[in-house]
Amino acid sequence: MGADVKTAMYKVEVTEAAARRIAKILAAEPDKNALRVSIEGGGCSGFSYKYDLVGDRNADDVAIERDGATVLIDELSLVYMGGSVIDFVDDLMGQSFQIRNPNAVASCGCGTSFSV
């Protein structure tokens, strides 16, 4: 299945606020060109989100590009993240990337782990 088909099946949206923040972070990291978002086992609710700045794409990465920012998600993580929205929030509680994932049936209070 090609990346375009996967992107359509498991669409993940990056908000304007997230794209601006990712582009700003990457501008300060000359050897990095994307933010990788992945899912790994663990966390208080079963799975957790992992964020890494990377300079290379893997063969199974799906790239989401918006406003000069690139987010990479591998095929396996994309299955769990289909329909999600990646946002950046700056409020009284602090600054953070947040993922609104419609596949999560439970999540922890901090929003970094979830279960399906």
Identify which of 76, 85, 86 has the alpha carbon closest to the alpha carbon of residue 40. Answer: 76
Q: Residues 93-104: what's their mean pLDDT?
A: 85
Which amino acid type is present at position 24? K
Q: For residues 91 and 70, which has the higher predicted lDDT (pLDDT)?
A: 70
DSSP 43: S
Query: If pLDDT is split at 50, 70 and 90, which confidence band does 115 have?
Result: very low
In a 13 Å sphere around the CA of 39, the CA atoms on its Cβ side amount to 21
Report whether 45 contacts 106 (CB < 8 A): yes
Rg (Cα) of the chain, in Å, rounded?
A: 14
Residue range 3-115, CATH number: 2.60.300.12
Query: If pLDDT is split at 50, 70 and 90, which confidence band does 95 have?
Result: confident
Instruction: Read off the pLDDT of residues 50-77 as tens digits, 9 standing for 90 and up.
Output: 999 999 999 999 999 999 999 999 999 9
3-state secondary structure of 16: helix
pTM over 0.95? The answer is: no
